[in-house]
């Protein structure tokens, strides 16, 4: 068996070993400090006798190094070779992996009924999947980031040991998921346990309050880790999502990506503060004031638009249809749903008198029994509104829904509605033709 020594001795970057077997580009060494991909941590990069290592996997208890090209003749079974693990990539993965444990420890202190559903390290960010009783919101994200960075600042020790499985499972508060942390199981009944801080993870004492230092996190894990949380550097929470029911995915960055992200956020906050003539710390209040102003202006705009539509519908030429007075015309730049309120206002006698020939237009207060508005533009629609007292057989005016059905039967499209209001869309006709048809019914 050539189990990787990387988890136990993560600082080793160069070593010598004997070649045990070669199969094409796949090489097995007598021992190795290359980390084989497992549990969300990617495989190490590096070289063996100068040949690039393309991938590292564990297969049948042996660590297999996949080379990027056919090994040279000097790299043969029984020979001693020199291997180099890519320092920058290993360092990043080691910091990122420990950071995921730190973040989980923060979640222990902010979430109820917390569970662990796995994690993954990519070149730009790290994800941790959590199961929680309630969804994680923005305030929770901010607190997770704050607590994680506090742990980095507090320089907590990180240690690991191998325990019998029964003993490991009995550790108070241990995060234990054999499916997602298969690297913690060494192919036997032994389990590798990683601890951040001291004491038990189940103790939620707060170091910020001067409590005795509890373990920040304890987990079954087979990955590589730093020796002290101060080595992680800044942790920047990027986003959250919900990949499955009851699961929240938290994405964060460490190292240069975290630094660049925080700088970008700071720059955006400064730009926003400048635009609002406020300090960054006052941005929430400034945004609240701006939102209130926007709501006020939008309300005034809606009122003005309603008044404009009331005036436009009130200007429609009147015509007698079946003993009822109808106002029929076209309207620009309006949505069918925008017309209901204005139409009801006009039917109630709130329309305005307009210039023009009064012979075919109603005087102010002379409300029609019904209104038919046809939308002008590339997507003609029809809206029909009938006064309550005029609707139905007893009132003399036709059912609004029946009128819309007749229009769509004649000009295509579809729609529907009730006796006093209906609408239809998708008409295949010029709006003026629809208006003429309605007036001549």
Which distant-in-sequence residues (6+ apart) come within 8 Å of 47 by Cβ?
53, 83, 84
- DSSP bridge pairs for 328: 372
Catalogue all structural domains in the chain, each as residue range(s) with its CATH number: 14-85 (2.40.30.130), 91-271 (3.30.980.10), 306-439 (3.10.310.40)
**How does pLDDT run across 49-92, given as a tens digit for each residue?**
999 999 999 998 899 999 999 999 889 999 999 999 999 999 99
**How does pLDDT run across 106-145, given as a tens digit for each residue?**
999 999 889 988 899 999 999 999 999 888 999 999 999 9
Q: How far apart are CA 378 and CA 73, in angstroms?
A: 74
Q: Got the DSSP string for 188-232?
A: SSEEEEEEEESS-TT----GGGT----EEEEEE--S---SBGGGT
Question: What is the pLDDT, as a whole number, of residue 1?
Answer: 45
Contact 105, 217 (CB under 8 A): yes
Q: What does the chain come to in residues?
A: 441
Average confidence score pLDDT of the chain: 88
E strand or H helix that includes residue 159: strand 158-164
**How does pLDDT run across 30-50, given as a tens digit for each residue?**
999 999 999 899 999 999 999
**How does pLDDT run across 247-273, given as a tens digit for each residue?**
999 999 998 999 999 999 999 999 999
Which distant-in-sequence residues (6+ apart) come within 8 Å of 325 by Cβ?
318, 319, 362, 368, 369, 370
Contact 257, 233 (CB under 8 A): no
> Averaging pLDDT over each range in 20-24, 181-185, 367-371, which range is the top one?
20-24
For residue 363, pLDDT over 80 is answered with no
Rg (CA), the chain: 36
């Amino acid at each position: 068996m050539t189990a990787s020594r990387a988890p136990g001795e993560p600082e080793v970057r160069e070593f010598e070993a004997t070649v045990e077997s070669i199969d094409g580009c796949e090489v097995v060494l007598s021992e190795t400090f290359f980390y084989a991909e497992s549990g969300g941590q990617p495989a190490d990069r590096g070289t063996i006798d100068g040949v690039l290592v393309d991938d590292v996997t564990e297969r049948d208890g042996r660590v297999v190094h996949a080379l990027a090209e056919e090994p040279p003749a000097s790299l043969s079974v029984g020979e001693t070779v020199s291997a180099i693990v890519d320092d920058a990539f290993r360092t990043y993965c080691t910091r990122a992996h420990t950071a995921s444990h730190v973040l989980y420890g923060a979640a222990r202190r902010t979430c109820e009924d917390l569970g662990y559903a796995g994690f993954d390290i990519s070149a730009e960010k790290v994800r941790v999947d959590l199961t929680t009783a309630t969804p994680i919101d923005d305030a929770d994200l901010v607190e997770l980031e704050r607590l994680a960075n506090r742990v980095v600042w507090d320089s907590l020790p990180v240690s690991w040991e191998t325990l019998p499985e029964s003993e490991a499972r009995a550790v108070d508060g241990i995060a234990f998921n054999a499916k997602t942390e298969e690297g913690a199981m060494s192919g036997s009944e032994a389990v590798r346990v990683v601890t951040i801080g001291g004491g038990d993870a189940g103790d939620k004492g707060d170091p910020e309050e001067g409590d005795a230092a509890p373990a920040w996190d304890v987990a079954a894990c087979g990955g590589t880790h730093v020796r002290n949380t101060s080595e992680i550097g800044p942790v920047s929470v990027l986003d959250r999502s919900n990949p499955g029911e009851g699961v929240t995915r938290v994405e964060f960055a460490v190292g240069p990506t975290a630094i660049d992200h925080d700088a970008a956020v700071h720059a955006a906050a400064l730009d926003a503060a400048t635009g609002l003539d406020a300090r960054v710390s006052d941005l929430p209040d400034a945004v609240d004031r701006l939102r209130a102003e926007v709501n006020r202006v939008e309300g005034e705009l809606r009122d003005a638009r309603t008044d404009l539509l009331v005036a436009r519908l009130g200007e429609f030429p009147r015509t007698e249809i079946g003993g009822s007075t109808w106002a029929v015309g076209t309207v620009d730049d309006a949505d069918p749903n925008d017309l209901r309120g204005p139409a009801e206002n006009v039917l109630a006698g709130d329309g305005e008198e307009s210039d023009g020939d009064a012979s075919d237009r109603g005087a102010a207060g002379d409300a029609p029994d019904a209104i038919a508005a046809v939308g002008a533009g590339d997507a003609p629609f029809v809206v029909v509104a009938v006064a309550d007292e005029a609707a139905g057989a007893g009132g003399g005016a036709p059912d609004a829904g029946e009128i819309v059905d007749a229009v769509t039967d004649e000009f295509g499209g579809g729609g529907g509605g009730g006796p006093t209001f209906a609408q239809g869309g998708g008409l295949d006709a010029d709006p003026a033709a629809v208006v003429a048809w309605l007036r001549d019914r």
